[in-house]
Amino acid sequence: MALEPITEIIGRGVPVPGDDIDTDRIIPARYMKCVTFDGLGEYLFYDVRKNEDGTEKQHPLNDPRFKQATILVCGSNFGCGSSREHAPQAIYHAGYRAVIAEGFAEIFFGNATQLGMPCVAVPRALRRRLVERIESEPEMEIAIDVAGLKLRFGGEEHDCEMRPGAQSSLVAGHWDPIADLLEGANAVDAVAERLPYMSSNR
């Protein structure tokens, strides 16, 4: 049984300034000492959001206007650097359900897709336009049409991009390969029984 298809994400946005934001900035390595990913959201962008004493710096993710946001809006090459899966996990566990950026690092993109968290790419001019609208209208609703690859906000509609394989897996509800593997467990067992070196009848 496939997972829930992800055809559209609707929510408010929060701009995260800067290009080439790497995974160490998204989740500092010292907070990756965990058995599960639960609780990682607390440390999302920790070093750019917090002072050494734990007080908050001036950062959009600390801005009360954007506390209800569920969509990150970022620059180019988002998620670059090391391939740690903790980065998209921290974003997801912090309550964000999609990322709009000018471009994504490949491994980050794949890890985010496997969480069911769409990552769509837009040109720089459109990203800047969206950020301007968010800053002037923080409560504005943003809709990411995953199936139709459209971005809608404030009465505007624009094209956005996503790799075809990721788009089809999200829309079909096959975005988690482990879930697909578990779904096909009986078929795996049947193949194993036919292999001479795996068969229980050997």
Q: pLDDT value at position 187?
A: 62
Model pLDDT for residues 120-148, shown as the tens digit of each residue = 999 999 999 999 999 999 999 999 999 99
Model pLDDT for residues 4-36, shown as the tens digit of each residue = 999 999 999 999 999 999 999 999 988 877 666
Q: pLDDT value at position 135?
A: 98
Three-state SS string over the chain comes to CCCCCCCEEEEEEEECCCCCCEHHHHCCHHHCCCCCCCCHHHHCCHHHHECCCCCECCCHHHCHHHCCEEEEECCCCECECCCCCHHHHHHHHCCCCEEEECCECHHHHHHHHCCCCCEEECCHHHHHHHHHHHHHCCCCCEEEECCCCEEEECCEEEECECCHHHHHHHHHCCCCHHHHHHHCHHHHHHHHHHCCCCCCCC
pTM: 0.87
Q: How confident is the model at residue 202 (pLDDT cuts 50, 70, 90)?
A: very low
The answer on pLDDT for 67 being more than 90 is: yes
Q: How confident is the model at residue 198 (pLDDT cuts 50, 70, 90)?
A: confident
The domain segmentation of the chain, as residue ranges, is 8-174
Q: How confident is the model at residue 96 (pLDDT cuts 50, 70, 90)?
A: very high
Q: pLDDT value at position 178?
A: 64
Q: pLDDT value at position 193?
A: 76
Topology (CATH) of 8-174: Aconitase; domain 4 (3.20.19)
